[in-house]
Amino acid sequence: MTTRIVLKSVVALLALGSTIPATAQMTGSRLGRNAGIEDGQAVLDIMVDCAASRSPQYVAEIMQSMPGSKREHDLIFSNEGDLGFCMNDRANRLVLPANVELTMSARQFRIGLSKALAKRELRGKNPEILRKAPSWVLSIYDNKGAPTDVKQDHTFLALYYFGDCVLGANPSDSAALILWEPETSQYRAAWQGIIPSLGPCVPAGAEFKITPQTLSVALAEPIYHRLTRSEMGSTEEQQAEN
């Protein structure tokens, strides 16, 4: 039986700090045991990594859509069947009992996806290239003819603006915060190293409560867009030379 993945815009499997319902147990080689309520992040990580590998055009279109827009919502929900495959293929084997559904918000899916894509883009690269790469700007999002008053997630757009500023000031520690797991010494060192860069990037009059987890959200999407736009520019330069 194929596991069904249900993405919902209101009911979240993984809001920051939330967990999988206890009824959503799973078995599989990726965890090596039945999953409990503490494994919510593991489920999301596996799903978005699979989606990024299996459907690169799908995830690229999501990342080009305006956060919080109807287009983003429609794109994410357009691929539920394929995401179900990501729970059942041999590599992942995250199999849920019959009639059990996982639900997650569009926002949380995009957060997980941006982190997975940022990690992929960073691997094997000197993080200093981020300093000269094109910065995150609102105009990178393509809403396919959407009106100028298209719905936006203003909270997250402000967070990305802040994260891009931090990224430009301290690319090495920003990259490390994305690449390393929270329990590692490298992650803790990156957090300590990046703290001095936070204050100057807070807009005048704004108040941010920044944790390492929140900062990783703020950094991931700007990192992805900086690196992919930089790669696109390099490709165009090579074509022009030829």
Output the pLDDT for position 99: 46
Mean pLDDT for 135-153 is 74
Output the pLDDT for position 84: 63
Mean pLDDT for 119-140 is 93
Q: How confident is the model at residue 233 (pLDDT cuts 50, 70, 90)?
A: low
Q: Indicate the average pLDDT of the chain.
A: 75
Output the pLDDT for position 40: 65
Mean pLDDT for 81-97 is 56
> Based on C-alpha coordinates, what's the Rg of the chain?
18
For residue 133, count other CB atoms closer than 10 A to its CB.
21
Q: How confident is the model at residue 143 (pLDDT cuts 50, 70, 90)?
A: low
Output the pLDDT for position 22: 34
Mean pLDDT for 211-231 is 94
Q: How confident is the model at residue 204 (pLDDT cuts 50, 70, 90)?
A: confident
pLDDT tens for each residue of 62-74: 999 999 998 898 8
Mean pLDDT for 19-31 is 42
Output the pLDDT for position 203: 78
As a residue count, the chain comes to 242
**Residue 102: exposure state from Cβ atoms within 10 A (0-12, 13-18, ≥19):** buried
Output the pLDDT for position 109: 87
Residue 51 has pLDDT above 90, yes or no: no
Q: How confident is the model at residue 54 (pLDDT cuts 50, 70, 90)?
A: confident
Output the pLDDT for position 79: 76
46 or 70, which is more confident? 70
Q: Which of left, alpha, beta for 32 (phi over 0: left; psi -120 to 50: alpha)?
A: left
**Phi, psi for residue 104 in degrees, rounded to 5:** -150, 160
Output the pLDDT for position 148: 53
Mean pLDDT for 77-99 is 59
Output the pLDDT for position 232: 66
| Spatial distance between the Cα atoms of 41 and 94, rounded to a whole number of angstroms | 13
Amino acid identity of 93? R
Residue 198 has pLDDT above 90, yes or no: yes
Q: How confident is the model at residue 26 (pLDDT cuts 50, 70, 90)?
A: very low
